[in-house]
Amino acid sequence: MAKRLPLIAGNWKMNNNHLEAIALVQKLAFGLNDKDYDNAEVVVLPPFTDLRSVQTLVDGDRLKIGYGAQDVSAHDKGAYTGEISGSMLAKLDCSYVLAGHSERREYHNEDDALVNAKVKAAYRHGIVPILCVGEGLEVRKAGRQVEHVLAQLDGALKEVTAEQAERIVVAYEPVWAIGTGEVATPEDAQEVCSAIRVRLAELYSPEVAGAVRVLYGGSVKGDNAPGIMAKEDVDGALVGGACLKADEFVKVIRFGGE
């Protein structure tokens, strides 16, 4: 089985205008060397309004940093005020798009059916979805995190083919660890990431399960990344706060040492 290249993705959330975006990507590129890009695929997920500027910079300077969006419409075009389609993102050469981030689920009432529609919209336009799943504190306290996350996974993957699923990225982000400074232990992350992989093998095949990158997200920083990344079924990180500072994000990307 081919070794999975770790993916370190920075979700900027609603931070940085397009000028700030250019400055941050330039600083990040300046801080990274060839070895870093061999160790991990580096991706940034800026707000929609920054994507054209990021595309121009990445193209012009031939940066090895990938990029994508934080959301996509389930629809391809038409009267959907405020929405952004997969084809618009594809035209900006976005490689990835988040689907089902807990903040979309919470503040925009996105349910598994809508997340599933967004996952399929991404595939229609050749964009790899980064599917976010994760439990809240109550579910964690009740010890039902695995069951909860697998139900989200099943819902999001309805009618997704094995060929499509092989390319998906799944990010396990326990809601109680997002933006709280409360990081899951490496064992917590491994438990759920491994359960996700087992479920992918059941839904598809061991080959698909072996190819999919499963990330952990939730208060990942330079100092806790190595412990989490050392776990067998954790193939990278989805980083929020720590990706807004280039130096700190570089530390996460160097989880395995300089």
Ligand X SMILES: O=C(CO)COP(=O)(O)O
| Catalytically annotated residues | 101, 173
What is the spatial distance between Cα 15 and Cα 13, in angstroms, rounded to a whole number? 6
Residue 238 makes contact with ligand X by CB under 6 A: yes
Point out which span in 32-40, 146-154, 173-181, 193-201 binds ligand X (CB under 6 A).
173-181
Options 99, 239, 252, 253; binder of ligand X; rule CB under 6 A: 239
Options 68, 129, 217, 222; binder of ligand X; rule CB under 6 A: 217
Between 10 and 86, name the residue whose CB sits nearer to ligand X: 10
> Residue 241 annotated as binding?
yes
> Residue 219 annotated as binding?
yes
Residue 221 Cβ, how far from ligand X at the closest point, in Å? Answer: 8
> Residue 12 annotated as binding?
yes
Residue 159 Cβ, how far from ligand X at the closest point, in Å? Answer: 25
Residue 98 Cβ, how far from ligand X at the closest point, in Å? Answer: 7
Residue 129 makes contact with ligand X by CB under 6 A: no
DSSP track, the chain? -PPPPPEEEEE--S---HHHHHHHHHHHHHH--HHHHHH-EEEEE--GGGHHHHHHHHHHTT---EEEES---SSSSSS-TT---HHHHHHTT--EEEES-HHHHHHS---HHHHHHHHHHHHHTT-EEEEEE---HHHHHTT-HHHHHHHHHHHHTTT--HHHHTT-EEEE--GGGSSSS-PPPHHHHHHHHHHHHHHHHHHT-HHHHHH-EEEEESS--TTTHHHHHTSTT--EEEESGGGGSHHHHHHHHTTT--
Position of minimal CB gap to ligand X: 240
Residue 82 has phi, psi (to 5 degrees) of 90, -10
Binding mask 76-115 for ligand X (x = CB under 6 A): -------------------------x--------------
Residue 240 Cβ, how far from ligand X at the closest point, in Å? Answer: 2
What is the spatial distance between Cα 227 and Cα 31, in angstroms, rounded to a whole number? 22
Options 6, 11, 25, 209; binder of ligand X; rule CB under 6 A: 11
- For ligand X (CB under 6 A), the number of binding residues is 14
Residues at the contact surface with ligand X, assessed by CB under 6 A: 11, 101, 173, 178-179, 217-220, 238-242
Q: Cite the annotated binding site for substrate by residue number.
A: 11-13, 179, 219, 240-241
